[in-house]
Amino acid sequence: MNENQIDHNSKLYKIRHSLAHILAQAVMEIRPGAKLGFGPPIDDGFYYDFILPEPISSEDFKEIEKKMKHIIKQGQAFEREELNLDKAFSQIDGMGEPYKKEYARELAQKHGLESLTFYKNGPFLDMCEGPHVESTKEIPQNCFKLKSVAGAYWRGDSNNTMMTRIYAWAFETKEELVAHVRAYEEAIKRDHKKLGKELQLFTIDDEVGKGLPLWLPNGTILRDEIEKLMKEFEFEDEYQRVSTPSLTKANMYYKTGHLPYYKEGMFPFMELKESEESETNEAYVLRPMNCPHHHRVFASQKRSYRELPIRLAEYGNVFRYEDSGSVSGLLRVRGMCMNDAHIYCTEDQIEEEFLKVMKMHERLYKLLGLENFHMRLSTWDPEDPKGKEKYVDDPEAWEKTQDMVRSAMKRSGLPFVEVAGEAAFYGPKIDFQMKTVTGREETISTNQLDFAVPKRMNLSYIGTDNEEHMPYIIHRAPAGTHERFTAFLIEHFGGAFPTWLAPVQVKIICVSDAFVDYAKEINSELRRNFVRAEIDLSSDSLNKKIRTNTKAKIPNLLIIGENEVNDKSVTLRRYGIKEQETLKKDDFINQILEKIKTRSLS
């Protein structure tokens, strides 16, 4: 959320905005000569940008917070003053704030302003449109906390001066602040980039490139298990699997209508060598999506209404040229593998097929213990002045397909909201929104109904009247991409995956080397049953082995000693459970095989 999405008249906005000024006042007291940038409220607090005569770090936060609380206690009034431009610029000159002056001149010229507003509290003066609280006494003493220091370019332009940005949290009550900070700290613990490194799941290598993750053995197991699960779901629902290349002629994306809409998000086009004139030197591209390839699979032979619906599925690699500043871990990448499928159906099959897609989502999420989700139906906006540029110009088709999708959503029984103006250019869209364990909302998958591209791609089937008809297409991806979905699961489980999903499902630890033969016997039997088992053969002490493997979040630790050898048993320590239990070896093997088969959450 940015500052423009916050209700400017709310009490919380006024508190945050006022605290930004109080922060600037405190910083200028401990760093005389500091120059001001911007200081807006944001979704969980506020920040302020400075040019500082000497650096500030988190070690200075205690002193800054103390000064801020002292300012609040003083009960400084926020006094508003509106000045004509001549007086305003004269005042800014007197403030000695070159960045404020630059911005003021731009505001006046761009918007034709005749005046500018200023707010003064105590000795602090700032050019600002407000609003603020009337007095600092309205701000609770313990409702804010400084969060971090970061670099930020003036006006967000990398060609400009680098400023120091101080972030802070702020809420109406101490209780809300404490809850938010606790959730933030939990999010840091669960951050998929942090856990990805600790658990050796993936790496980003500068030699390979930004946004191009390398999946390590442990991470590859995670994506393989999710892919296996989705393939089973798709097999049960009668999908047919296809495999298509990551490269294609650029012209195909003009036919579908994706270009020029998506050109900025695509890697540069590749021109053929002159010697390949049989191809007329046409450009090729790395595909940003699988859709056109699947459409050509559908078009590879004549189709009859008797075959429909045809459901084509593929875990296909796609490539998108994300801005380097937005690339982050597995959440925003440039190369990804998508759980894609396209359903080609008749008009009277749309609602039922969309309902099945939603039920597949529900089944997947419940299996993974993900219950806090809802759907968002994105429709076209006929009132949008740029509507003809954003959407296919076919009002009748829009209304008809939106009604069908809306009806399927109601029948699903799943919660949903509706928003106008966010549809795909070729049809209505459903996003599945998931609330993370730390309270953040994420779009976990997207599904669309396409009534426009089939015509552009000349897709057809022979109907009951023996005439050609255009199919409708449902685009669906319940598990999104391997990258984004795995990032979500890492954070959801905090790296402590259930047995069926865990990279190492069983680690066998011997009390001493005398019991290694029995450990090998158990290990061999488990691996014959395709259980991912390992023996800890390190020279560490028993306690250190247990600590090391617990830290690695392995779900099942088997402790083997003399009693276990004599009784043909194992002592089981489950991750996150204090009590351990001893059971017969065969009983343990049967138990774990059942957990894996049923994909239990334990």
For residue 86, give the CATH number of its domain.
3.30.980.10
Sign of CA dihedral 405, 408, 409, 410: positive
Tell whether the model's pLDDT for residue 1 goes beyond 50.
no
| 475 and 380 housed in the same domain | yes
Reported as a single tens digit per residue, the pLDDT across 109-149 is: 888 889 999 999 999 999 999 899 999 999 998 999 999 99
Judge whether 278 lies within some domain: yes
Reported as a single tens digit per residue, the pLDDT across 198-230 is: 999 999 999 999 999 999 999 999 999 999 999
Which of 493, 518, 534 finishes a domain? 493
Percentage above 90 pLDDT, the chain: 76
| 476 and 510 housed in the same domain | no
CATH of the domain at 291: 3.30.930.10
Residues near 429 by beta carbon (within 8 Å), at least 6 away in sequence: 377, 378, 422, 423, 446, 447, 448, 449
Q: Is the distance from CB of 58 to CB of 148 less than 8 angstroms? A: yes
For residue 455, report the phi and psi dihedrals to the nearest 5 degrees. -70, -40
Residues 240-265 as b or e (16 or more Cβ within 10 Å = b): eebebeeebbbebbeebbbeeebeee
Determine how many CB atoms are found less than 10 A away from the CB of residue 463: 13
Q: Please give, one letter per residue, the 3-state secondary structure of 519-539.
A: HHHHHHHHHHCCCCEEEECCC
Q: Is the distance from CB of 365 to CB of 388 less than 8 angstroms? A: no
Rounded CA-CA distance 169/410 in Å is 39
Which of 133, 149, 180 finishes a domain? 180
Tell whether the model's pLDDT for residue 279 goes beyond 60.
no
Rounded CA-CA distance 378/423 in Å is 5
Tell whether the model's pLDDT for residue 409 goes beyond 50.
yes
Q: How large is the angle between the packed helices 482-493 and 174-190, nearest 10 degrees?
A: 120
Amino acid in the structure at residue 281: N
Matching residue, tokens 């590749």: 270
Domain count, the chain: 3
Rounded CA-CA distance 569/586 in Å is 8
Tally: H helices and E strands in the chain = 18, 27
| 534 and 423 housed in the same domain | no
Judge whether 542 lies within some domain: yes
Rounded CA-CA distance 331/325 in Å is 13
- Tell the burial category of 135 from Cβ atoms under 10 Å away from its Cβ (0-12, 13-18, 19+): middle
Q: Return the DSSP state at 293.
A: H
Tell whether the model's pLDDT for residue 330 goes beyond 80.
yes
Amino acid in the structure at residue 384: D
Residues near 586 by beta carbon (within 8 Å), at least 6 away in sequence: 568
What are the tokens at 487?
Answer: 């990032």
| 24 and 50 housed in the same domain | yes
Which of 448, 465, 493 finishes a domain? 493
pLDDT given for residue 3 in this prediction: 45
- Tell the burial category of 77 from Cβ atoms under 10 Å away from its Cβ (0-12, 13-18, 19+): middle
Q: How large is the angle between the packed helices 482-493 and 217-236, nearest 10 degrees?
A: 110
Reported as a single tens digit per residue, the pLDDT across 2-17 is: 444 567 789 999 999 9
Judge whether 501 lies within some domain: no
Judge whether 500 lies within some domain: no
pLDDT given for residue 251 in this prediction: 86
Rounded CA-CA distance 15/44 in Å is 12
Judge whether 193 lies within some domain: no
Q: How long a stretch of residues is the chain? A: 602
What are the tokens at 345?
Answer: 């159906």
- Tell the burial category of 380 from Cβ atoms under 10 Å away from its Cβ (0-12, 13-18, 19+): buried
| 157 and 215 housed in the same domain | no
Q: Return the DSSP state at 271.
A: P
Give the structural domain span for 56: 3-180
What is the average pLDDT value for the chain, to the nearest integer?
91
- Cα–Cα nearest to 297, from 243, 373, 259, 370: 243
What are the tokens at 400?
Answer: 């008809």
Rounded CA-CA distance 473/289 in Å is 15
| 342 and 468 housed in the same domain | yes
pLDDT given for residue 475 in this prediction: 94
| 519 and 390 housed in the same domain | no
| 140 and 217 housed in the same domain | no
3-state DSSP assignment of residue 415: coil
Residue 389 confidence class, pLDDT cut points 50, 70, 90: low
Q: Is the distance from CB of 318 to CB of 338 less than 8 angstroms? A: yes
Determine how many CB atoms are found less than 10 A away from the CB of residue 78: 22
pLDDT given for residue 388 in this prediction: 64
Q: Is the distance from CB of 180 to CB of 169 less than 8 angstroms? A: yes
- Cα–Cα nearest to 233, from 356, 360, 338, 357: 360
Q: Are strands 581-584 and 247-249 parallel, antiparallel or unpaired?
A: unpaired
- Tell the burial category of 477 from Cβ atoms under 10 Å away from its Cβ (0-12, 13-18, 19+): buried
Tell whether the model's pLDDT for residue 267 goes beyond 60.
yes
Reported as a single tens digit per residue, the pLDDT across 558-588 is: 999 999 999 999 999 999 998 999 999 999 9
Q: Return the DSSP state at 463.
A: -
CATH of the domain at 587: 3.40.50.800
Q: Is the distance from CB of 575 to CB of 501 less than 8 angstroms? A: no
Rounded CA-CA distance 597/366 in Å is 16
pTM equals: 0.84
Judge whether 188 lies within some domain: no
Matching residue, tokens 């994420």: 442
What are the tokens at 527?
Answer: 């691996």
| 429 and 535 housed in the same domain | no
Average pLDDT over residues 88-103: 91
Q: Return the DSSP state at 387.
A: H
Judge whether 498 lies within some domain: no
What are the tokens at 16?
Answer: 């945050």
Tell whether the model's pLDDT for residue 424 goes beyond 90.
no
Matching residue, tokens 């770090």: 57
Largest CA distance in the chain: 94
Peptide bond into 415 cis (omega under 30): no
Q: Where do runs of H (alpha helix) occur along 368-425?
A: 387-390, 395-412
| 9 and 119 housed in the same domain | yes
| 469 and 375 housed in the same domain | yes
Judge whether 190 lies within some domain: no
| 546 and 397 housed in the same domain | no
